[in-house]
Structure 1
């Protein structure tokens, strides 16, 4: 069992990393740092159990150590055949953050009657990465939760912004609170109540884009929401286009796609949904547009062919690293080769192929192809090189 790529925990709870491996003879499990030095026990701070689990014990904020609580670990499995390493495990403890109280405020982008207002929950920078908006409260006790489509009047986006459509004068008397949660401590922090401001514009005002999500990143099969809000009088009409070819193509509603004025919602995204989108807001006074990019992270599968190779002394061994996503080959990747847990030099490597010439006893063992994504995630596969008898 390979450990996860990221482990986050609070100083009050502590954390642990599990790792196990199978082989003959049964492998032993150790842990190493990013520089391949062995992880040792630190009394009251870090333990390595016999079953391969590394335990990071709860600790007071004053005992925070970056080289222990905010670092990269790797699991190592080894036996007499060879040695393999796991993916990088980025560990992050929230000690320094948990020790500080924080509060959230609400920012209101005002809008005209009949248009859309945006309420944003403002989280302090020092804790922003660990806090998410879980809901908004329409006072006194109506809870609004994230969704792809909203209910026509209120729409809480997965990113935390609350949209209030078709503003009327009566909406100015309504109050709203933002509810946020620290994802490690589960602490809930609620903002003070905030009221809307509605502008009273007269005459024709050409649309202007006041808010749009320039880049949305989601994983395959998740939902994606692209936001493009314009202000103008009369209220603008919205059109959406894909912009990935010679010219723009209109986006059409379908089983997975919802066009909701300033929102384009896509359910169960695939790699084919990736690309550049364009929204256009128009009224009798003119039009305004913005480009938005959707990136979809698809799962990667890594395989070494062959996974077991027997070569006689003095012969040549060749391994190929195959990287696919949803069954299709993936383009150029950052590929590293390891032998018994140690990175090999680039010599002898041609893109996705590793060639071992004049095989000797020192070359037998376990080989790994490790693929590293720009986001930092790693994927790997393992193969064994055996020494075979020379044919006479």
Structure 2
């Protein structure tokens, strides 16, 4: 198969080449013989113009899709070779017409071998036609015939060179296309892995901030309730109630995670109410003193959820690590954003040495909303957690 026909990417270039070749063939191939025969006899004029009209019609047909049913390119080239021989006879030499028609033998064949054979046959017919017209004169042998043979040899060399160049271009294109397809597959796989990793991280963060914290609270409450079973039955009953509430909340959060419940249980515009309820539960479970400034601020859903999770994580850290006696929570709004500050008077810690998923999870959650988390603490001086988020339009 011709390299011009192997790659769809070359079809547009091939059509352009065919159009330019057609224009040149009409201008320098068909018109000169038609003009040259005007001074000939009427019979010769009739034959020449008829042959030119025939080959022009065949060329038009072969350029259309109808040639598959009417005229194949190979048949057209055979007719062209006969016409070249006939016009060479009528004009006593047709080397120029042959040279102008020579590219078609490479454009309309499927293999170089076909092009060489058909163009060679056309060259032989051109020489033979001219010989019949002029006879075996030295002038003819040094003119028309030699020029035709030289053109054939040059056409073969040039055609093979172009065929090889186009073939190599096709191979490079196929190789690059295969490499591109492989790169796209690898990129798609990388995106899939990245998406899976991000989803695992999101689920891990949600589980840590909800279910894990709830289970930790249940464990602490259960231990306290067991200790107060005999000494303080009323306190034990309160703690059992807290265990039940926490378990119900964990169940609701589990339904959210598996997609069988709304994304969040935080009602629109109710962050302050939700935070107060969370703080009341914390006081009930731990007995710590909490001071809170929680104005009603209308925030979008993702901002409300992020600030609630930061509060829950901070209170869980206070309960597990700080040994604090009091906690302060301040929610404030400023132009273009909102801040949540949580402080405690506990033992503090070295922030750079902190390990665990909690602080990192809070930071990542805020970063997804273009927010920031600032943690300030030192041993013996308590801890300050400041979450800052830009405000967005209400859902």
Q: TM-score, normalised by structure 2?
A: 0.15
Higher RCO, 1 vs 2 (CA within 8 Å, ≥6 residues apart): 1
> Which structure has the highest strand share of the two?
1
- Name the structure with the higher helix share: 2
User: Given the two structures, how large is their TM-score scaled by the length of structure 1?
Assistant: 0.15
